[in-house]
A and B are shown apart, each in its own frame.
Chain A
Amino acid sequence: MSKSYTYYPGCTSRSSSMHLEKSLRAIAPKLGMELNEIEDWNCCGTSVGHIAEGRLPNAALSARNLALAKDRGEDDVVTACAACFIHTHDANEQIREDEGFKADLNEALAEAGQAYDGSLLVRHVCEVMVKDVGVDAIKAQVTNPLTGLKVAGWTGCQTVRPFAATERGGMFDDFDDPKFMRDFIEACGAEAVEFANNTSCCGGSVAVISPQKSLQLMKTILDEAKEREADCVATPCPLCQQNLEMYQDLINKEFGTDFQIPVVFYSQLMAVAFGLNPLTDAALNQQMIPATKLVEMGTK
């Protein structure tokens, strides 16, 4: 049985993490998730919007999305992007907890004839997959188990922090050592190697803005992946994926290393394991560092 969700794709779904969007769209029907996009959604403000114009204007970006989402009539808004999730969720919770803030935002929304009361629940798609879909249902879709593929499950930080272990965050996993990535990897028939850097931070937007500050953080993550002989690193986070992949050359130059470790999304693993096309459905043709072993495991 399929369940319908209001879906917020976020800016990177159209650019740097298009391969997350494509692979998620490919697996969603198999997992009974019907994703209905918010009509005319805008950017969430990411981790810097508030610095440019302040907290209220930044939250106004999310408030418009939430008001448009509310119009769809469903109870949940689901997003796959860690940054979209954290900022939209945060704005939503502040609207619920702070009457003054809610009134201010509604005064702004009224300029466009909109309103929002804070009644939605903002959810991460991984939480939906853990709780609504269930790992067993994921396993049930596997027709092409990824036997022999060693994967380092790297959850990153913002997908689980600070909300995952709160009631409104779904209580779906632990902040410090969440296990859902391991469950997803194993459900796909791959081997989840031990990974102490499970929630290590890549540097986030600091890595984008001032890379030199955070190359060491990423190197630590790559070091462990290599030591564990992982064929690839898998993550749910668009920024983690992008940073760890695009900075490998720079890290190699800086530290004299020779990393060429593919960084994929959990959804790409699932797409291949579900027997979908590894290049088009799993969008593995959009990797900067080719995930050759995973592509070869795909059914063509």
Chain B
Amino acid sequence: MTAHLPETKRKYDLTFARWVSRNVHGGDKLNMCMQCGVCSGSCPLGEQMDYGPRRLFMMIRAGMKDEVMKSDTIWNCVACYRSEVRCPRGVPVTHILDSLSVVAVREGYAEAKNAETTRFAKAFWWSAKKFGLTDERLVTALYYFSGGIGEGIRKGMANQKIALRMIGKKRMHVGMPRKIKRRGELKKILAKAVEIENRNDAAAGEEVKS
């Protein structure tokens, strides 16, 4: 994909940069960015992104909320942390991208909700919450079918050989899912954490408005 600057007729949302600074984990360090480009130059998948991190950070400053939230940059981050450790200004690049993905989903952007990573994350969370553990087999199946039956079958077929070899080497669990013992305890902790997260979100929303 060729990187392009968004149209000039865009709508600015000038509170966006302030909002990011407060609500995105690590976002308060964004004002340290000096636009040197070390991050984008260090990124293994930079060429496949709409915008590299440097440009994305400039767009946050420019208040281009929609363009940032819809960009595929956040979904192509492989979390190798190379940009983060190399940034001469101590901007936690990976953490910011990571947190932006959470925000994009919570704000309801279709691009974010339908991203393959989000669908995978939902499948993963289901397993973590239900069993306390990742069941790689069930998570993968659930993810494959999250894009519809057709996609599920296509992806499943493409990976059948790999799955069978993994099972053959006893590296994929078959049979009843493994579970932690005190699942009720974990469920309660997670439910409370979700409640607190929502409470905090609502409070932060009020703060930006004021």
Contacts and interface: CB of A to CB of B under 8 A. Distances in A.
A103 to B, nearest CB: 9
Interface in B90-148: 92, 94, 98-99, 101-102, 105-106, 116-118, 120-122, 124-125, 127-128, 132-134, 136, 143
B45 A206 contact: yes
B21 interface: no
B129 to A, nearest CB: 8
A11 B128 CA distance: 10
A265 to B, nearest CB: 13
B172 interface: yes
Contact of A104 (B121, B182, B200): B200
Contacts of B78: 157, 201, 203-207, 214, 217
A104 B190 CA distance: 12
B106 A109 contact: no
Given A54-B106, A249-B161, A16 B124 contact: no
A8 interface: no
Interface string A192-217: 00000001110111111110011001
B32 interface: no
A209 B120 contact: yes
Interface stretch (B5-13, B56-64, B80-88): B80-88
A280 interface: no
22 contacts: A11-B133, A14-B173, A15-B136, A15-B173, A42-B128, A43-B132, A51-B101, A53-B193, A56-B193, A63-B189, A104-B196, A107-B192, A108-B192, A110-B192, A111-B191, A112-B189, A157-B82, A206-B76, A209-B117, A249-B161, A286-B170, A288-B171
Interface of B: 25, 44-45, 48, 76-82, 84-86, 92, 94, 98-99, 101-102, 105-106, 116-118, 120-122, 124-125, 127-128, 132-134, 136, 143, 161-162, 165-166, 169-173, 178, 180-182, 185-186, 188-194, 196-197, 200
